[in-house]
Amino acid sequence: MVRKEKDRLIILVNHWIRHNHEHMAEYLKLAEKLESQGLSEIASSIRDACLLVLQANDSLSAAGNTLAQCQNEPDQSEELQ
């Protein structure tokens, strides 16, 4: 993979993580509202979804870390020369 692609992917992964956090904040606000309306079961399901978003972010973070480590490796196109 060429360096430009790696850089772009790192930026994209970080964007997805931030975006997921923004969504999760909205989910939690909604869960609180639902809880206050006596809709505990629905609120609980939404909180469960938040845990899955956190797991997704962990996986995205691991992917970003691996990409960052690959930054130090030569590009495949450089290896062929």
| DSSP track, 42-81 | HHHHHHHHHHHHHHHHHHHHHHHHHHHHHTTSPPHHHHT-
The predicted-structure confidence for 35-56, as pLDDT tens digits, reads as follows 999 999 999 999 999 999 999 9
Residues of the chain with pLDDT > 90: what percent?
A: 74
Structure pTM?
0.80
**Where does the pLDDT of residue 3 fall: very low under 50, low under 70, confident under 90, or very high at 90 and above?**
confident
Q: How far is CA 23 from the centre of its chain?
A: 11
CA-CA distance, 72 to 9, in Å (whole number)? Answer: 15
Task: Say what the pLDDT of residue 1 is.
Answer: 73
Residue holding tokens 């939690």?
28
